[in-house]
Amino acid sequence: MGNWSREKYFKALKFSAEAHKGQLMPETDLPYVVHASLVAMEILAALTAEEVDRPNIAVQCALLHGCLEDTYIIYDDIVSKFGGYVADGVLALSKDGAVGISEDEHKRHWLQLEDSLHRIKKQPREIWMVKLADRITNLQPPPSHWSDEKIERYKEGAELIHRELAPASVYLGERLRVKIDSYPGG
């Protein structure tokens, strides 16, 4: 428990901050990397509650989870800096933009989520935990410009993530459950 490397944490945090430089956390004027560190915070909290085989993989993937989806960083960059396990985890956590390309926005988002969950489930438990932590972090009060329908869909996505991935972590599963139940929408 708690057996994670501060050096690896700092290296991944710096890499992520550099890669996401200039991007903001959605609906805020905070740097994007605040989001990545909140996801890592959820992982660290889980590590104090549960025994995990590869805590450093979870911590690094939490900090790097947006790098392939939203920055110029490519898979090989992550392999060379952090190794294949971390790179494969980050790749599974990234949407495949080609999935559902001909569908409407809602359908596309849903298909991309299903596709990513399918790939995450082929990864070690630590990667499942990062996806749980990501959605826990993202279940903030919805922005005022979101329609009721959009709020409902976001909640449905969170339910799907919970259904598929909660077995990876009792701690994070319960935490996501509480977040979903207090989120607006049916």
Binding footprint of Ni ion on the chain (CB under 5 A): 134
How far is residue 89's CA from residue 124's CA, in Å, rounded to a whole number?
8
For Ni ion, which residue has the nearest CB? 134
Nearer to Ni ion, 88 or 134 (CB): 134
Smallest separation, CB 78 to Ni ion (Å): 16
> Is residue 111 packed enough to be buried (19+ CB in 10 Å), middle (13-18) or exposed (0-12)?
middle
Token pair of 112, please? 């991309």
Smallest separation, CB 151 to Ni ion (Å): 18
Tell me if 42 sits within 8 A of 136, measured CB to CB. Answer: yes
Smallest separation, CB 134 to Ni ion (Å): 4
Nearer to Ni ion, 32 or 51 (CB): 32
Smallest separation, CB 137 to Ni ion (Å): 7
Nearer to Ni ion, 37 or 80 (CB): 37
Nearer to Ni ion, 133 or 148 (CB): 133
> In the block, which residue shows the tokens 């790097």?
64
- CB-CB neighbours of 76 under 10 Å: 9
Smallest separation, CB 51 to Ni ion (Å): 25
How far is residue 131's CA from residue 61's CA, in Å, rounded to a whole number?
10
**DSSP character at residue 168:** G
How far is residue 186's CA from residue 165's CA, in Å, rounded to a whole number?
21
Task: Tell me which residue of 37, 33, 41 sits closest to 17, measured CA to CA.
Answer: 33
Nearer to Ni ion, 134 or 164 (CB): 134
